Amino acid sequence: MSQSPPRFDSAFRAQLRDLLSWRRDVRRFKPDPIPKDLLTELLATACLAPSVGNSQPWRFVVVETPTLRAAVIRDYESCNAEALRAYTGELAAKYATLKLAGLKEAPVHLAVFADHATLAGHGLGSRTMPETLEYSVVSAIQVLWLAARAHQIGLGWVSILNPEAVKTLLDVPEYWRFIGYLCLGYPVEEHEDPELVRHGLQDRIRLDEVVFKR
């Protein structure tokens, strides 16, 4: 029996915009654990993301071992210190005050990779642009981000890490490309505006600065 496609009314569209507006990169988490079945549900939802050739190249590694988490935190601290040295003056002072990761507080650590050796999809669409495998994984992260927010769970994407160090620590296959390290948990606070806007580091860019016509 065929199913009728859903119809999304104006109320749903308004809620969807609210979901997008209130999605934040969270760095401050409560210690409350995320129920395992809910985490499984969120990951299953993430797997509904579009992927080139339907290759579904995302690979999620739930990092639970305390020693591995501690090693990731040390790598972050080293990379963050190096990043700070690249700034000078007022920008350096602002950077030094920012909380850029919730690695120590987040109940869930999730490393995400793109499997470049996957046979799924038969290379459709990715032979000419192999990077579309990674774009597909980023799409899955975005779906996870929104699904988590809909459950009042915050997600923070930590990019201040050494990709090869993370791969080595987690002992993943060589042909997996590191995409992102995510922190998930219930947020301490919620804001509609991004933290970097509130701290005066980077405002939103106007629409007319990013849309072009040819």
What would the pLDDT profile of 93-104 be if each residue is shown by its tens digit? 988 988 889 999
Taking residue 210's Cβ as centre, other Cβ atoms within 10 Å add up to 7
Task: Give pLDDT, residue 56.
Answer: 96
Q: Which span out of 18-22, 42-46, 202-206, 207-211 was modeled with the highest average pLDDT?
A: 42-46
- Between 4-13, 59-68, 193-202, the lowest mean confidence (pLDDT) is in 193-202
Expressed in angstroms, the distance from the first to the final Cα of the chain is 46
Concatenated DSSP letters for 68-106? Answer: HHHHHHHHHHHHHHHHHHT--HHHHHHHHH-----TTT-
What would the pLDDT profile of 17-38 be if each residue is shown by its tens digit? 999 998 998 999 999 999 999 9
Beta partners for 25?
155
Mean pLDDT across the stretch 195-204? 81
Mean pLDDT across the stretch 76-97? 92
Task: Give pLDDT, residue 1.
Answer: 58
How would you class 42 by CB atoms within 10 Å of its CB: exposed for 0-12, middle for 13-18, buried for 19 or more? buried
Distance separating alpha carbons of residues 51 and 54, to the nearest angstrom: 5
